[in-house]
Amino acid sequence: METTTQSTETTALDTQITPTPAAPDIAPSAVTRPDYIPAKFWDEAKGEPKVDQLGASYQSLEKAFSEKREIKIPGEKATPEQIAAYRAEVRKITGAPEKPEDYGLQAPDNLPEGMVWNSDAATKAATIAAEYGIPPEALHKLIDISNENLGGMIAKSAEMEAQQIQGVIDSMNTEWGVDAPNNWQRAARGALAVGIDIKSSKLASDPEFIRASLAIDKFLREDSGLISSDNATATYQEQAERIRKGDDYQGKNGAEKQEAALTQLQRLFAAATS
């Protein structure tokens, strides 16, 4: 009788038929990731950092910093080529343009009152900025600050000038008394005789010039051959005198025109004393 012997060795067929036990599930570690370690370098399952990846990242950063080029300021003996190369490097860092016109400087919409945009000065500023690698934003802000300061100075100067003129007006009114209205007109007329508009000239703040203008008018009026008074330049007093001497005021042309002349005379009086 034949007997069979069963082999205890595992055959290839056994491997295929018998399933391989599944690996047991590994629960996430209870260790919490510290804030100073980025999530991409943290192993949640093991509850520890990924040292190999962290180390590789550190080496990359160290290499990048070690390769960083240092820009040295040219010394006193630097050649023009070295200076030009240095400024070119600076422009790369600051983003400054090479050409002055690329700064795009234009007259601002909010230019302070009394200021006039100087395009030549703006071009010079942009040229210097391009030469030294000043960022466009910085140049624009510097110009804004300069305009603001100049505008304040102009406003302050105008205020001081107005106060000075008012002081002269008060002083001359006190000096002239009731003759002030006519004297102001005569002084303005005397200034015009020598080509000066007293209203727009800075000489209006000079009492001596005002007195001299009044003297000029007096001199010219006394010599009728030099100048004559017309209605446009006649003082209140001169206009009133003409009305009184006129036929209308004296009633030679009827009561209606006499009344009109009287009304005109009253208006002159009111203007002279206001």
The DSSP line for 117-178 is --HHHHHHHHHHHHHHT--HHHHHHHHHHHHHHHHHHHHHHHHHHHHHHHHHHHHHHHHHGG
Write down the pLDDT at residue 186: 87
Q: Are residues 137 and 183 in the same domain?
A: no
pLDDT at 176 over 90: yes
Q: Which residues are bridge partners to 43 per DSSP? A: 48
pLDDT band at 12 (very low <50, low <70, confident <90, very high): low
Q: Are residues 141 and 195 in the same domain?
A: no
Reported residue count of the chain is 274
Q: At what angle do helices 236-245 and 255-273 cross, to 10 degrees?
A: 160
Cα dihedral: 98, 99, 100, 105 (round 10): -100
Is 227 part of any domain? yes
DSSP state of 78: -
Among 157, 189, 215, where does a domain finish? Answer: 157
Q: Are residues 258 and 191 in the same domain?
A: yes
Q: Are residues 237 and 268 in the same domain?
A: yes
Is 143 part of any domain? yes
Number of compact structural domains in the chain: 2
pLDDT at 131 over 80: yes
Q: Are residues 192 and 247 in the same domain?
A: yes
Residue 116 burial (CB count, 10 A) = 7
Q: Which residues contact 151 (CB under 8 A, 6 or more apart)?
A: 111, 112, 113, 114, 115
Is 189 part of any domain? yes
Q: Are residues 188 and 269 in the same domain?
A: yes
Q: Which of 13-17, 46-50, 51-55, 200-204 has the lowest mean pLDDT?
A: 13-17
Q: Are residues 184 and 257 in the same domain?
A: yes
Is 224 part of any domain? yes
Q: Which amino acid makes up residue 75?
A: G
Q: Which of 15-29, 87-101, 146-160 has the lowest mean pLDDT?
A: 15-29
Is 18 part of any domain? no
Q: Are residues 116 and 187 in the same domain?
A: no
Reduce the DSSP state of residue 6 to 3 states and report it. coil
Q: Are residues 149 and 221 in the same domain?
A: no
Write down the pLDDT at residue 4: 47
Q: Please give the average per-residue pLDDT across 186-198, as a whole number.
A: 85
Q: Are residues 194 and 227 in the same domain?
A: yes
Write down the pLDDT at residue 2: 45
Q: Give the integer Cα–Cα distance in Å for 33 and 43.
A: 9
Q: Which amino acid makes up residue 266?
A: Q
Q: Are residues 95 and 150 in the same domain?
A: yes
The residue behind tokens 């012997």 is: 5
Considering 97-101, 155-159, 189-193, the range whose residues carry the highest mean pLDDT is 97-101
Range of the domain at 109: 81-157
Is 37 part of any domain? no
Write down the pLDDT at residue 78: 87
% of the chain with per-residue pLDDT over 90: 11
Among 157, 189, 216, where does a domain finish? Answer: 157
Q: Give the integer Cα–Cα distance in Å for 242 and 268.
A: 12
Is 33 part of any domain? no
Q: Are residues 153 and 183 in the same domain?
A: no
Is 258 part of any domain? yes
